[in-house]
Amino acid sequence: MREATIITRIRELSRELQSRHGYTRNKLLDLLNEEKTVPATIFSTNLSPLRSLVTYLHDQQGQEFQAIAASIKRSYRSVWGAYHEQGLQATPTAYVIPLSIFDHKKSVLEAVVSHLRKHYQLRFTQIGKLLHKDPRTIWTVWQRAQKK
């Protein structure tokens, strides 16, 4: 599809949302720029980081496995395989993790630790307490993430 065609289609959809549903231009821009996040405390369970993330997105936010796979850049099979029947309750936290940080280069835990360290400037002990992991484990994960 050509760029001009895509832009025309976006404009048509924008006008339709404004006329039928009363969206303002600012509301549309906010929706486009909104980044999906998850609470950092979902990673403090005994489940693996991937299983914790998938379980939270599926059970708490009602997302389908295909959508989860696309948002965290993992295969459908690995997302489906990571899911476990038991639910996961996340406690409220001041730290949120954007879904856009997940990719194939780093493990889920490496991405989470890197984000908490860089974005919130947390120390390894603070991240360890938040995720219920030993600070030495957090340091090791951080070092591996820095090499990637």
- 97 and 115 Cβ atoms separated by less than 8 Å: yes
Domain ranges of the chain: 1-34, 35-147
CB-based burial label for 97 (10 Å; 0-12, 13-18, 19+): buried
The predicted-structure confidence for 76-89, as pLDDT tens digits, reads as follows 998 988 885 555 55
pTM: 0.57
- Residue 123 neighbours by CB distance under 10 Å: 12
Question: Is it the case that residue 43 has pLDDT exceeding 80?
Answer: yes
pLDDT bracket for residue 66 (50, 70, 90): very high
